[in-house]
Amino acid sequence: MTDVFFTPKQLELQRKVKEFTEKHIIPVAREYDESGEYPEWVFKEAHKAGLNCLVIPEEYGGPGYDSLAVGLAVEEWGYGCAGFATGLSANGLASYPLAIAGTEKQKQLYYSRLVAGGKGCFALTEPGAGSDAGAVSTVAKLEGEEWVLNGTKCFATQGGYADIYVIFASTDLSKGAKGLSAFIVEREREGLAVGAVEHKMGIRASNTVELQLKNVRIPKDHLLGQEGEGMKIAIKTLDMARPIVAAMSVGVARRALDEAIKYVKTQLDAEGKSLAEHQSVGFKIADMATQIEAARLLVYHCLRLKDSGQPYSKEAAMAKMFATETAMKVTRDAVELMGSYGYSQDSIVEKLMRDAKITQIYEGTNQVQRIVISGQLLK
Amino acid sequence: MRYGLTEEQDLIKQSAREFAEEYIKPKAAEIDHNATHPAEIFTKLAEYDYLGLYFPEEYGGSNAGFLSFALIVEELAKYSGSVASILINHSAKAAYALNQWGTEEQKETYLPALIKGEKLGAFALNEVGAACGIGPNKVVATKQNDDSYVLSERKAYVANGGAADVYIILATTLSEGGKENLSAFIVEANTPGLTVGKITKTMGLRGCRFAEIVLEQVIVPADNRLGYEGLGAKIISETLDVASIAQGAQVVGIAQAALEETLRYSKERVQFGKPINTFPAIQNMLAEMAANIHLLRLGVYHAAQLVEKGDPFNLEAAIVKLNAARTGQSALIDAIQVQGGYGYSEEMVVSRLFRDINGCILKDSSHEFPEQKIAAEILV
C-alpha cells in the first residue's frame, strides 16, 4: 500500500526489509517451522543489513528508526514468518526498558552489545505470573554493592541465545506489584542458566525458554530506574511492544489474504469457472481485506501518536487486540477457503493459522488489552 | 446433560468412552507425533464391533443405527481426532457408499471384510485443484470394452490413503452423448498400476494421513463400478452429507475435550490471587463454548436420527457442517486463549485439539459454502 504520509526513511526501511524477507525468510520459513530449530544465522544477516536493532538511537550507534518505520519493518517480517519476526523483533522489545528508564551509562552498556550484533531478552513472565505480572516471585536482594537474583522465568523469547537480559524481580515481595524492579543481567553472570526449551504449536522458529537464576550477582548500578518501578517499566515496555506485535499480525494476515487470492483466482470449479467468480468467495475475500485494512490503520495511527509524543496506551491495546483477532480470523478464513490443500503443509496457510494464535496471547493476552482499554474509558 | 438417548445408545456411548480411555488415551499423543496409521487401534475398533456398528447384520454389522455410530465417533474424538477420522473415512464414507449403492455381490465381497477390520477403506474423491473432475490430473475411467475400464492419473489428499486396502475412486467417465460425468469404482490397493504417491503432512489429524494415489493404466472390471455410470455426483453428495454429520460428532467430541481441559485448567490456574475461573471474562468464554457445543450436539444427534430413519437429511447435514465449523474453531481458539502460553505449548493437549479440529470442518470444495447448500434447500 502506498501512503503519501510516510517519510522517505520509513519507506526505505520498508523496502529493505521486504527484500530481506523475500531473500532470507520466505524460502526457508516452512523448513524451520517443521524442524523447530532456531535460525541463528538470520541475525547475522540482519546485522549485516543493519536491521538487527532498529529501535536503538543513532547516538548509540543504532539506526534510530521511529516507531512507525519499525512497525512497517516488522509487518514485512510477519508477512514472511511470524516465528522469524518474533525473534528479529525481540531486540526491540528488550531495548524498550532502557529507553524508558535507562541511565546514560546503562544505555551505553546495553545498546553497545546489541549494536555489535548481540541479542537481547525481556524476561518478565513466570510460571505463576502470566497476566498477573505483579505475582513475580523471582527475588533480588541487595548485598553490599551487588544485587543477588534468585528465581525462574518462563516463556522468555530468545532467552536461549541472548547476550544481555532485562529481568524483572521483586525487591520487596510484601509490596506485590509495587515491589517489582527491573535489572540488566549479562549472559556471562554466574548462576544464570537456560532451562527447558518450549516446543510450541506455532512460531516454531522463535526460541522460547525457561531461565533459571541461582544467586546471580550483578552490580548495584544494573537496577533500571528506582526500586519498585519495575511494574511501571514493564507496562510502558508492553505499551511500546503492542503496536509492533499488531504490525506483525497485520503481516501474517496479509500473507494469508494473498495466498487465498492466488488460490481462488487459479482454481476452477466443476463448470470451469474460477472460484473467484463465486460471490460467496468474493465477499469472503472482501471481508478479509477490509479487516486487514482497518487493523493496519489502527496500527499506523497508534505508532504516529507515539512518534509525535502523544498518549497512545489505549490505542496500543486496541491495535494489538484488533490486529491479532484479525490475523486469527483471516488465517482461519484462508484455510477454510483452501480446503484440504489449505489444511495440508503443501500450502503455507495452515502454518499462518498456527502462528496467528500466539499473537492473541503474548505481549498481554487480549483479555489484558480489554482491561487496559476499559480501564481508561471507565476510570 | 441428558439427550433423550435410548438405554442401548447410552450403553454404547459409555462403552466407547471406556474403550477410548483404555486403548486410545495412552496412545493419542504418540499417534499424532508418529503420523502413521495406527493399525493396532484399527484392529481394536473391529474387535469391539465399532466398524460395522450401523450396518446390516447379514454383513457382520450390528445394525445399531447411525446415531449410535455418531456417539462412538464423538467419544473416540475426545481422545484422538485421528482415530475418529480413520473411522469416519472407513465406515461413513467407503463402507457407507458400498452399502448404499453396491450390488449384492459387491456387498458380499467387501462389506464383511471392511466390518471385520480385515480391510481398511478409503473414499478417493479429491484431486489437485478445487474440485473432482476438472484439474489437469483428473482421474479418467476409459471404457475399454463391456467388461472393463482403464483408470489413469492421480487422486490427492486421500484420507486413509496409503494404508487402505479398498478404495472407492471417483473418476470422470464419458456418457454416450460424449458428455463428461462422474462414476465410482471399487479398486483394491493391490491392483496393478495403483501406487501410493506423496504422503502429505497436515496441520493435524496426523494419524489419518493424506496420500496421493497414482493410477497408471489401472484395469478395473466393469463389475467393480459402484452404481450406474454417471451416478458419481449423487454418490459424492450423499456420502459427504453423511460424513459431515459424523464429522459434526467428531467436532463435538474434540470441542468437549477442549472444554473439559479448559475447565480443569481454569480451576487450577491462579492469577490475581484467585482461580481464573472466578473471572467473568473467563466464565463467559467457558459458557459460550458449552452453549455452542450443546447446540451442535443436538444438531448432530437430530441429523443422525434422520439418516437412521431413512428420512431426507441434506439440509440438516449442511446445518451441522456450518455450525461445526463455527463451534469447532471458536471453541479451540478460546480454549487456548484461557490456557495462555501454556495452551500454546505442544505438551498441552489443547494445542493438538486445535490442530485436529480444523481438519474436521474442511469444505470439500472451496466454493461450496454450507450456507449455499442450506439456501438451496430452504429456497425451494
How confident is the prediction along chain A (379 residues), in pLDDT tens digits per residue? Answer: 556 689 999 999 999 999 999 999 999 999 999 999 999 999 999 999 999 999 999 999 999 999 999 999 999 999 999 999 999 999 999 999 999 999 999 999 999 999 999 999 999 999 999 999 999 999 999 999 999 999 999 999 999 999 999 999 999 999 999 999 999 999 999 999 999 999 999 999 999 999 999 999 999 999 999 999 999 999 999 999 999 999 999 999 999 999 999 999 998 887 788 899 999 999 999 999 999 999 999 999 999 999 999 999 999 999 999 999 999 999 999 999 999 999 999 999 999 999 999 999 999 999 999 999 999 999 8
Tell me, yes or no, if A22 is annotated catalytic.
Answer: no
Residue B134, pLDDT score: 73
Q: How far is CA A154 from CA A79, A157, A176, B51, in A?
A: 27, 9, 19, 45
Judgement on whether residues A358 and A277 belong to the same structural domain of the protein: yes
Q: How far is CA B134 from CA A271, B130, B137, B181, B233, in A?
A: 8, 8, 8, 11, 13
Which CATH number does the domain B123-229 belong to among 3.40.50.720, 3.30.420.40, 2.40.110.10, 3.30.230.70?
2.40.110.10
Residue B365, pLDDT score: 67
The alpha carbon of residue B63 and the mean position of all alpha carbons in its chain are separated, in whole angstroms, by 20
Where does B7-120 sit in CATH, by number? Answer: 1.10.540.10
Query: In the 8-state DSSP scheme, what is residue A192?
Result: E
Q: Of the residues A167, A200, A228, which one is the last residue of a structural domain?
A: A228
pTM of the predicted model, to two decimals?
A: 0.95
Q: Of the residues A115, A146, A163, which one is the last residue of a structural domain?
A: A115
CA angle B330, B335, B341 (to 5 degrees): 125
A270, B341: Cβ pair inside 8 Å?
no
Residue for cell digits 472444554?
B259
Domain boundaries, chain B: 7-120, 123-229, 233-378
What is the ipTM metric for this complex?
Answer: 0.93
CATH of the domain at A29: 1.10.540.10
Q: How far is CA B79 from CA B70, B76, B145, B149, B202, in A?
A: 15, 6, 49, 42, 19
Shortest CA gap A222–chain B (Å): 29
HSE-CB for B219 with a 13 A CA cutoff: 6
- A127: nearest CA partner in chain B: B342
Residues of chain B contacting residue A351, judged by C-beta atoms under 8 Å apart: 203
Shortest CA gap A368–chain B (Å): 10
Stretch B41-56: mean pLDDT, rounded?
A: 97
Name the amino acid, one letter, at B206.
R
CA angle B224, B228, B230 (to 5 degrees): 115
A183: CB partners within 8 A, 6+ apart: A140, A147, A149, A166, A167, A168, A169, A218, A222, A223, A224
Where does B233-378 sit in CATH, by number? Answer: 1.20.140.10
B134, A272: Cβ pair inside 8 Å?
yes
Least CB-CB distance to A354: which of B203, B271, B343? B203
Size of interface A-B (CB pairs under 8 A): 134
Q: Of the residues A228, A261, A290, which one is the last residue of a structural domain?
A: A228
DSSP reduced 3-state for B200: strand
Residue A2, pLDDT score: 54
| Residue A263 to residue A337: CA distance in whole angstroms | 9
Contact predicate B175/B141, CB 8 Å:
no
Domain membership of residue A69 as a residue range? 8-115
| Residue B182 to residue B171: CA distance in whole angstroms | 6
A275, B366: Cβ pair inside 8 Å?
yes
| Residue B16 to residue A85: CA distance in whole angstroms | 45
Residue B377, pLDDT score: 92
Note whether residue A2 is domain-resident.
Answer: no
Shortest CA gap A49–chain B (Å): 32
CATH of the domain at A271: 1.20.140.10
Q: What is the DSSP string of B230-244?
A: TTHHHHHHHHHHHHH
Q: Which of B277, B332, B367 to mutate to test the interface with A (most CBs of A within 10 A)?
A: B367
pLDDT tens-digit series, residues B118-167: 999 999 999 887 677 777 789 999 999 889 999 999 999 999 999 999 99
As given in the structure block, the three cell numbers for residue B263 are 475447565
A201, B344: Cβ pair inside 8 Å?
yes
Residues of chain A contacting residue B134, judged by C-beta atoms under 8 Å apart: 268-270, 272
| Residue B45 to residue B210: CA distance in whole angstroms | 21
Judgement on whether residues A237 and A363 belong to the same structural domain of the protein: yes
- A278: nearest CA partner in chain B: B367
Name the amino acid, one letter, at B318.
A
Q: Which of A131, A92, A68 is nearest to A372 (CA)?
A: A131
Give how many domains chain A has, as a whole number: 3
Q: How far is CA B100 from CA A83, A221, B301, B305, in A?
A: 48, 80, 21, 17
pLDDT tens-digit series, residues B287-297: 999 999 999 99
Residues of chain B contacting residue A125, judged by C-beta atoms under 8 Å apart: 341
Judgement on whether residues A208 and A344 belong to the same structural domain of the protein: no
The alpha carbon of residue B145 and the mean position of all alpha carbons in its chain are separated, in whole angstroms, by 35
Mean pLDDT of chain B: 95
B358, A263: Cβ pair inside 8 Å?
no
DSSP reduced 3-state for B210: strand
Least CB-CB distance to A280: which of B131, B341, B369? B369
Note whether residue A74 is domain-resident.
Answer: yes
Judgement on whether residues A220 and A271 belong to the same structural domain of the protein: no
Residue A283, pLDDT score: 96
pLDDT tens-digit series, residues A68-95: 999 999 999 999 999 999 999 999 999 9
Shortest CA gap B75–chain A (Å): 24
Q: Hey, which residues does A223 pair with through a beta bridge?
A: A183
Q: Which of A261, A253, A258, A285 is nearest to A357 (CA)?
A: A253
B136: CB partners within 8 A, 6+ apart: B128, B129
pLDDT tens-digit series, residues B298-352: 999 999 999 999 999 999 999 999 999 999 999 999 999 999 999 999 989 999 9
A339, B210: Cβ pair inside 8 Å?
no
Least CB-CB distance to A343: which of B130, B202, B354? B202
Residues of chain A contacting residue B201, judged by C-beta atoms under 8 Å apart: 34, 344-345
Residues of chain A contacting residue B354, judged by C-beta atoms under 8 Å apart: 201, 354, 357
Residue B132, pLDDT score: 76
Judgement on whether residues A352 and A267 belong to the same structural domain of the protein: yes
First to last CA, chain A: 38
Residue B41, pLDDT score: 97
Judgement on whether residues A255 and A184 belong to the same structural domain of the protein: no
A128, B270: Cβ pair inside 8 Å?
yes
Query: In the 8-state DSSP scheme, what is residue A274?
Result: B
Residues of chain A contacting residue B129, judged by C-beta atoms under 8 Å apart: 267-268
Residue B363, pLDDT score: 77
Shortest CA gap A159–chain B (Å): 16
The sign of the CA dihedral B253, B125, B52, B57 is: positive
Judgement on whether residues A72 and A102 belong to the same structural domain of the protein: yes
Where in A133-187 does DSSP place strands (E)? 139-143, 146-157, 164-170, 180-186
A198-217: buried (b, 16+ CB within 10 Å) or exposed (e) per residue? bebbbbbbbbbbbbbbeebb
B345, A198: Cβ pair inside 8 Å?
yes
Other C-beta atoms lying within 10 Å of the C-beta of residue B2: 5
Residue B366, pLDDT score: 64
A201, B365: Cβ pair inside 8 Å?
no
Query: In the 8-state DSSP scheme, what is residue A36?
Result: -
Shortest CA gap B348–chain A (Å): 9
Least CB-CB distance to A339: which of B204, B337, B366? B366
Residues of chain B contacting residue A132, judged by C-beta atoms under 8 Å apart: 271-273
Residue B145, pLDDT score: 87
Where in A8-138 does DSSP place strands (E)? 120-123
Q: How far is CA A13 from CA A178, A255, A266, A343, in A?
A: 39, 19, 33, 34
Judgement on whether residues A336 and A239 belong to the same structural domain of the protein: yes
B337, A345: Cβ pair inside 8 Å?
no
Q: How far is CA A19 from CA A15, A117, B322, in A?
A: 6, 20, 41
A282-321: buried (b, 16+ CB within 10 Å) or exposed (e) per residue? eebbeebbebbeebbebbbbbbbbbbeeeebbbbbbbbbb
The alpha carbon of residue A262 and the mean position of all alpha carbons in its chain are separated, in whole angstroms, by 28
Contact predicate A285/A348, CB 8 Å:
no
Note whether residue A157 is domain-resident.
Answer: yes
Which is higher by pLDDT, B176 or B37?
B37
A61: CB partners within 8 A, 6+ apart: A111, A112, A115
Judgement on whether residues A244 and A190 belong to the same structural domain of the protein: no
| Residue A87 to residue A73: CA distance in whole angstroms | 13
Q: Which of B139, B154, B229, B219 is nearest to B184 (CA)?
A: B229
- Per CATH, B7-120 and B233-378 having the same topology is answered no
As given in the structure block, the three cell numbers for residue B360 are 474436521
| Residue A265 to residue A40: CA distance in whole angstroms | 37
Note whether residue A1 is domain-resident.
Answer: no
| Residue A370 to residue A364: CA distance in whole angstroms | 10
Judgement on whether residues A197 and A149 belong to the same structural domain of the protein: yes
Shortest CA gap B113–chain A (Å): 29
CATH of the domain at A147: 2.40.110.10
A270, B329: Cβ pair inside 8 Å?
no
Residue for cell digits 443422525?
B304
- A350: nearest CA partner in chain B: B203
Stretch B108-119: mean pLDDT, rounded?
A: 98
A201, B347: Cβ pair inside 8 Å?
no
DSSP reduced 3-state for A19: helix
As given in the structure block, the three cell numbers for residue B171 are 473418476
